[in-house]
Structure 1
Amino acid sequence: MPRDLDSMPITVNTKETLVTAFALFSLFFGAGNLILPPLLGHKSGGLWWLVALGFCASAVLIPILGIMAHAKLQGTIFDFGKKVSPSFSLVYALLIYCISIGLPSPRTAAVTHEMAIQPFFDSPALLTSVVYFSLVFLFVINRSKILNILGKLLTPAIILILFLIIGTAVFSYDFHFGTPLYQHPFSEGVIEGYQTFDAIGAVVVGGVIIISINLRKKEATYEEKKALIRRSALLAGLGLLIIYCGLILTGALMQGEFGATVSRTALLNGISSKTLGGTAHLFISILVSLACFTTAVGIVTGTADFVKYRFHDSQTAYTATALLGCILGITMGQFNVAYIIAVALPALMFIYPITIVLILLNIVPDKWASQKVFRAVVVTTFVFSVPDFLGSLGLAEAQSYLQGFVPLGTYSLGWVLPAGAVFTMANLLGKDQA
C-alpha cells in the first residue's frame, strides 16, 4: 500500500530541495525569459498586471505543472503521450527535441552574442557560437555534475543580478503608467509566454532533473523523489513568478524612457543602464551569459538523455547526440534573435497547445485520464489549433475565416474551450458506459 506523503519519513533535506529548485530555475530561465517580459511591460502600460497574469499562466503555471507531471511519471518525455499511442508519443518526443535543439537552444547563443559579446568585442557571431557550444558540450558530457553546478553556482548569480535591476527600478520610479498598446492584454501575455518555450522546456528539462536525482539518490523511493521534485518545482515556480512580474513591472514603469519601436534586446540593455549605471554592461553581460548558458545545457542534455534511453542506455548515442545538438546550435546561433523568434512562431503555435493538454492530462487523477480521454482531447486540440498555425504561416485570411467559428479564436486560444468540453464529455460518456 502506498505511504501517505505527509506522514512518511521523507529523507529530503532543505539543502537538496534548494539545490534542485535553483537548478530547475536556471534550466527554465533562458534567453526568452529574460528579453520578453520587459517589452511586454513596456507595451502594456497600466495594464501590466493583466499582461503579467497571462504571461505567467503560460510561462509559469503550465511549466511547473509539467514538472509535477514528471514527479508523478518519473520516466521520460515518451511517457507524456503514450496513452494516445506509442507511435504518437515517439513522434511527439522527436518533434519536441528537434524544435528544442533547433530553435530555443541556438537562440540562447544569439542573445548572448547580441547582448554580452557585441557591446565589447567586434567579433563575428560564428565565433561566439563556436566557443559557446563548445562549453555547452563540456557541461553536457560531465552529466553527473550538472545539478550541483547549476543549483549551487550559476543560479544564485542570476537571481542576484535580476533583483538588483528590478529593485532599483521599483524604488526609483513613480508608479505612473502610460497608455496600453495591446488590444487584448491577457491573451497577448499568454501567447508571448509561448515564446519562452517553458511548457516544452518542462517536458525536456523535467527528464534531466529525474535522471540527475536518480544519479545522486539511487536508494531513494518513488515517493521520496516525488516529494523532492514537487517541493523544488513550487520553489522554482515562485522564483519565476516574482522575476517575471518584476521585469514586466519594470518595463511598464520605464515606458516613457524608450520609444514605441524599441527592440527586446535594446530595451533590456537600456533598462540595465538606467538601473545599474556604469556597471550595467558588465552585469547584463554576466546575467545574459549565465541565463542563456544554463538553458542550452538543459536542452542539449535532455535531448541526449532521451536518445541514450532509446538506444538501450548507450553512452555513444548520448555523446553523438550532444555533439550533433551543439553543431546545430552553432549553425543556427549565427542568426539574429528577431529572426529566430519569427521562425519559431509556427512551430510553437502547432506544438504548444498539444504540450499543454498533455501536461494537464498527466496531472489529473488517472480515473479522469483514460486512453480514450487522452486521444479525444489531443485530437480536438490539434484540430482547433489549425487556425492559429495557419496565421503564423502568414495565411491571415484563412485564419480569420476559421476563427469566426471558434470561441476565443480571435485571441489565438480557440483550442481551449473545445478541448475542455471534449474532456468533460469523454469522462461523462465513459462513466455512463461503465
Structure 2
Amino acid sequence: MSKNKELFVTSFALFSMFFGAGNLLLPPLLGYQATDQWFWVTLGFMITAVVIPIFGILAHARLQGTMYDFGKKVSPIFSTVFCIIIYIISVAIPSPRTAAATHEISIFPNFGTSALLTSSIYFALVLVFVLNRTKILNFIGKFLTPLIVLILLTIIGIGLCMPHEALIPSIFETPLFDGLKEGYQTFDAIGAIVVGGVIIISLNLKGHDSFEEKKKLIAKSGWIAGIGLFIIYAGLILLGSYFSNEIEIDMSKGTDYKRAALLRGISLATLGNIGTAFLSVLVALACFTTAVGITTGTADYFKGLFKKSKNAYVITAVVACLLGVGVGQLDFHDIIVIAIPILKFIYPIAIVLIFLNVVSQKFATPIVYQMVVLVTFVFGLIDAIAYFYPNSSLLLHFRETMPLGTHDFAWVLPALLTFVLVGMFQKKLE
C-alpha cells in the first residue's frame, strides 16, 4: 500500500472511530438552541470535541505505547487503575450508547423491533469485527467512513445552500461554555486515548517497525481526522442554527427525543423522503465504527495486561459485547444521565494527562505529573459530588467562588497554576 493511500485509510479509520452517536446527535441541537450565537458554541464545542482529542492522538504518536504510558509518570499503580476505569467506562457507557442511538433512530422507527434484538445483533457484528481486528483498519478506512462522510457532506451542503429565515435570539447566556460542556458529552478526549492505541497496534500488526515513520503517520492522520471532525461538527451546528426557526420540535420532550427529531427534520428538509433512509444508514454506520474501536481498544489493553494472551483478548471482547447488550436496553437519554457525573470526575484527569504528554517532557517531569493530576483529581471529585448535591450551600459557595466553577471548570485554573508553580519550584532546586 502506498504511503498516501495508507495515510488516507488510517485518517478515515480514526475519524470513524471518533464519530459515533453523540458526535452526530449533539451538534445539531446545540446549534438549534444557540441560533445567532452559533459561532461561540461552535468554538467551545471544538475545544473539547476536536482540539483536545487531536492532542490525544499526537500524544499517542509520541509515546507509541498503550494508555498505560499516559499515566505511568504519576505512578504505575495510578496508571493501571486509571486504565481499568477508563476501559470499564468506555464499554459500559459510550459503546452501549451507540447501540441505543442506532435502535432509537435507525431500527425502531423502520422495523418496530425490540431494543434487545437490536443490541444483540449489533454487538454480535461488533464482536465479529473485533475478533478479526487485522482487517478493521482497512475495512473501516476504505469503505465505511467514506460512506459516512459522503452522506454527511451531502446533508450539510444542501442544507447550507437552502434559503433560510432570519435567526432568532439564542437561549444560551454563556454560549462558549455551553459549547465546551456539550463537547464533553462526545467522550472524544477519552476516545482519543482509547482508539489511538488501536491505531498503533493495527499499524504494528501490518508490519510497521520504524518509530519515526509511525509517528509521522499517526500525527498526520490525527490532524486530518481532526479537520474532518471540525468540518462536520461546524456544518451540523450551523445547520441546527439555520433550521431553528423552520423545524418545530417538542421542547417539552426529553433531550434524546429532541436531538433525534431535529436530525430527522434536517434530513427530511435536505434530502426529502429518502433522507430518512440515509439518516438510518448514517447513524448505524457512525455508531458501529465507534463501538468497534472502543471494544478493540479495551480487548487490546487486557490482552497486554495478561501477557499478550489471545484468550484474554477474546474473553474481554465477549464480556464487553455482552455488557453492551445489557446497557443497550436503556435509552440514549438515560445513558447520558449516567455518564454526566462520571465525566465530571474522570474527564479532567484524561485532559491533563493528554496535555502533559504533549508538552516538552523537560517541563512535564514526574513530580509535575503527580501534583497536577492530584489537584485535578480533587477538583474533579468536587464537581462530581456537586452533581449529586446541587443544593448544598457549601458546594454552591465553592462553585461561585472558584473561577469558572459555575461552568463546571473549577479544575482548570488550579491545574494550570500547579503546572507552572511546581515547574518553577523544581527548576530553582536544580
Aligned counterparts of 1:384 and 1:71: Cα–Cα separation in 2: 29
Q: 1:142 to 1:380 in 2, by over 3 A?
A: same
Aligned AA (1:400): L
1:178 aligns to what?
168
For 1:401, give the aligned amino acid. Answer: H
CA distance, structure 2, for counterparts of residue 62 and residue 322 of structure 1: 27
Counterparts of 1:410-421 in structure 2, within 5 Å, are 410-421=406-417
Matched with 2:64 is 74
Question: What one-letter code is carried by the residue in structure 1 that aligns with 2:359?
Answer: V
Paired position in structure 2 for 1:376: 371
Letter in 2 for 1:129: S
Is 2:426 the partner of 1:430? Answer: yes
| CA–CA distance in structure 1, aligned partners of residues 53 and 250 of structure 2 | 31
How many residues align? The count is 423
Q: C-alpha separation between the residues in 2 aligned to 1:363 and 1:240?
A: 20
Residue correspondence of structure 1 range 341-420 to structure 2 within 5 A? 341-397=336-392, 398-420=394-416
**C-alpha displacement at 1:405, in angstroms?**
2.6
Q: Please name the residue that 2:237 is paired with.
A: 248
What is the CA RMSD across the aligned residues, in angstroms? Answer: 1.2
Say if 2:143 is the partner of 1:153.
yes
1:99 to 86, 89, 95: 89
Q: 2:326: which partner in 1?
A: 331
Number of the residue aligned with 1:6:
none
**In 2: Cα distance, 1:89 partner to 1:175 partner:** 52
Q: Which amino acid aligns with 1:213?
A: L
Name which of 31, 36, 45 aligns with 1:41: 31
Aligned to 1:132: 122
Cα distance between partner residues in 1 of 2:261 and 2:424:
52
Of 202, 208, 228, the match for 1:239? 228
Distance 2:302 2:166 in 1: 52
CA distance in 1, matches of 2:389, 2:174: 20
Moved over 6 A (4+): none
Per mean C-alpha deviation after superposition, the further-off stretch among 379-388 and 299-308 is 379-388
Offset, 1:62: 0.3
Look up the equivalent residue of 2:217 and give its one-letter code: L
d(CA) in 1 for partners of 2:401, 2:134: 51
Tell me the distance in 2 between the aligned counterparts of 1:277 and 1:141. 39
Q: Does 1:311 align with 2:306?
A: yes
Contact 1:65/1:359, CA 8 A, preserved across alignment:
yes
Distance 1:167 1:147 in 2: 28
State the one-letter code of the partner of 1:253: Y
Amino acid at match of 2:349: I
3-state SS in 1 of match to 2:111: coil
Could you tell me which runs of 5 or more consecutive residues in structure 1 were left unpaired when the two chains were aligned: 1-10
d(CA) in 2 for partners of 1:205, 1:232: 12
Q: In the TM superposition, what is the alpha-carbon distance from 1:181 to its structure 2 partner?
A: 0.8
Q: 1:229 aligns with which of 206, 211, 218?
A: 218
1:383 deviation in Å? 1.6
Identify unmatched segments of 5+ residues in structure 2.
none
* Residues 397-426 of structure 1, C-alpha deviations (whole Å, 9 max, x = no match): 353222123111111111111111110001
Q: How far apart, in 2, do the equivalents of 1:331 and 1:253 lie? A: 38
Match of 1:283 among 263, 266, 278: 278
Kept in 1: contact 2:164–2:243 (CA 8 A): no
State the partner residue of 1:54: 44
Alignment of 1:30 onto 2:20: yes
SS at 1:356 equivalent: helix
Summarize deviations over 1:285-324 as a string: whole Å, max 9, x none. Answer: 1000000000000000000000000111100000000000
Aligned equivalents of 1:109, 1:26: Cα separation in 2? 15
TM-score with structure 2 length normalisation? 0.96
What TM-score, normalized by structure 1, do the two folds share?
0.96
For residues 173-197 of structure 1, the C-alpha deviation after alignment (integer angstroms, 9 at most, x for no partner) is 3373111111111111111111100
Moved more, 229-238 or 179-188: 179-188
Within the candidate set 210, 215, 219, 2:200 is matched to: 210
Contact 1:387 1:402 in 2 (8 A): no
- C-alpha contact 1:184 1:411 (8 A) present in aligned 2: no
Whether 1:116 and 2:103 are equivalent positions in the alignment is no
Say whether the 8 Å CA contact 1:45–1:178 is kept in structure 2: yes
Residue 17 of structure 1 deviates from its aligned partner by 0.6
CA contact (8 A) 2:249 2:262 kept: no
- Which residue is equivalent to 1:188? 178
Q: Distance in 2 between matches of 1:28 and 1:70?
A: 15
Secondary structure of the structure 2 residue equivalent to 1:118: helix
Check whether the contact 1:173–1:253 (CA below 8 A) recurs between aligned residues. no
Identity of matched residues, %: 52
Higher alpha-carbon deviation: 169-178 or 134-143: 169-178
1:394 Cα deviation after fit:
4.4
Opposite residue 409 of structure 2, the aligned amino acid is: L
Shift of 1:390: 2.1
- Is the counterpart of residue 21 in structure 1 residue 11 in structure 2? yes
Structure 2 CA distance for aligned equivalents of residues 402 and 260 of structure 1: 36
Rounded Cα–Cα distance in structure 2 between residues aligned with 1:181 and 1:37: 15
2:272 counterpart SS class: helix
Which residue of structure 2 aligns with residue 7 of structure 1?
Answer: none
Q: Deviations over 1:211-230 (max 9, x none)?
A: 00101133x31000000000
